[in-house]
Copies of this chain bind each other. A is one copy, B any other.
């Protein structure tokens, strides 16, 4: 099978490779790269971060042009991207992430002697990563999925997002240079272009051992279905977005209606609403709904529309609005201005809790700066909402501490529906750190056990392996008796460094 892809960016190869050739190269690289010491992987990763900074003056305007996102935003995203690369570099340099666990032998145990068993995490193998349109850097070519897979020891076959092909090529070149400068095999990173057909071909290849994706529900689930129907099923980490509800309560909301409306609208419309965590749903008590709606209306009027990522996204946004405008349950607080070019004008509508509960359509994500304000009457409404709510990346609670004392059961229910729960604050702005969880129950992701942001993202690309009675010399460094890496390990049940 000859893929119709431009693969010229992969260094030292013929311009067109078959999928078999691409994966054979990745597998060959894997057998070397999986054993590369953490310090060397860290040095390689840092070269990617340095390279991105060195190309800053070219990357920023290019990514801005291709994504319609302002240069200021792209500058911030580049910082996020290099920051997370260096975070993974530090993690693998330190080395404790492999969960080294040692149970010593006991030759005198009865009735049978106890063997020596040592376990740690080993990389899965070649990983296929799909870039996202809304983060041309941080969730794309050298983004969190690619870098956490590389940090784990997995080669990456990266399928560029067609919305920013030139940015992707440029970043791929930076990675290729880091590979070459580190004297690593080319197959560690391969850049592939194409659409859904090429994506499917990558996902079905028997050498692929995992898939990472950020994007639409449709795209994510298509990959999930493909992967689960393979002869050998493989994990799919698809982050498919959500509506990120904010639950507001009387006491908190009444304290500062104008400030709350401002915080909500600025989170909703940030980046033309094109974030996986933008709050497209807000639950408001009936007693304050009029006042809050008025405050929102005045805030939203001030928001200047901006171009969306690409035409397809703008079309989808306006199509979704058109559908909702045909639903009589909605009362419009702000109708979107007519589509001019590909600008996404913000919009907001109100709906009664009972109507919202009647149709799942009202909790489908509208990618862009649209939100639904759901007016609830009392605890019964809230419990029914919590029950009905789909899985979310985030749920935000706007309440004063004292008014939550009789709502602990509600909070308990809502925990089951999200990967991150915020108290006050807004869900946009996903911190990159140790404790971040960016991933939640279905349909926000295909695998709630994983995160695509933060250090734990590395665990998606590893599996445990145990060695029994293995001579010390044959063990990986992480498991040798003398602990040459100086890492934290669980030894006979105790945590020791």
Contacts and interface: CB of A to CB of B under 8 A. Distances in A.
Interface of A: 31, 34-35, 96, 101-103, 112, 114-115, 117-119, 122, 124-125, 224-225, 228-229, 232-233, 235, 391, 401, 404, 409, 411-413, 415-416, 418-425, 429, 431, 433-437, 439, 441-443, 446-449, 451, 456, 462-471, 473-474, 488, 490, 492-493, 495, 497
A302 B137 CA distance: 67
Nearest to A461: B449
A422 B469 contact: yes
Given A423-B471, A474-B411, A119 B437 contact: yes
A101 B420 CA distance: 13
A241 to B, nearest CB: 16
A-B CB proximity, top 7 nearest: A228-B228, A437-B466, A117-B435, A119-B435, A422-B468, A103-B435, A101-B435
A368 to B, nearest CB: 23
Contacts of A124: 448-449
A457 to B, nearest CB: 11
Contacts of A497: 495
A421 B114 contact: no
Contacts of A474: 401, 404, 411, 423
A203 to B, nearest CB: 14
Nearest to A228: B228
A456 B451 contact: no
Given A103-B431, A434-B490, A465-B421, A443 B232 contact: yes
Contacts of A114: 431
A263 B424 CA distance: 64
B115 A425 contact: yes
Given A103-B431, A449-B462, 11 more contacts: A31-B416, A96-B495, A124-B448, A232-B443, A233-B446, A401-B471, A415-B465, A420-B467, A423-B467, A423-B470, A434-B492
Given A412-B35, A443-B232, A469 B436 contact: no
20 contacts: A31-B413, A102-B434, A115-B425, A117-B435, A119-B456, A124-B449, A224-B233, A228-B229, A232-B391, A232-B442, A235-B447, A419-B464, A420-B465, A421-B468, A423-B467, A424-B469, A434-B493, A437-B465, A441-B463, A451-B464
Contacts of A102: 434-435
Contacts of A436: 103, 117, 119, 466
- Interface core residue of A232, A488, A497 (most chain B CB under 10 Å): A232
A470 B412 contact: no
B490 A495 contact: no
Contacts of A447: 235
Nearest to A462: B449
Contacts of A425: 115, 468-469
A90 to B, nearest CB: 8
B433 A103 contact: yes
Given A436-B119, A493-B434, A412 B31 contact: yes
A476 to B, nearest CB: 9
Contacts of A446: 233
Contacts of A442: 232-233
Contacts of A473: 401
Given A31-B413, A233-B224, A434-B492, A468 B423 contact: yes
Contacts of A233: 224, 228, 442, 446
A448 B122 CA distance: 11
Nearest to A394: B468
Nearest to A427: B468
A465 B418 contact: yes
A434 to B, nearest CB: 5
A488 to B, nearest CB: 6
Contacts of A434: 101-103, 119, 490, 492-493
- Interface core residue of A114, A118, A437, A490 (most chain B CB under 10 Å): A437
Contacts of A115: 425, 431
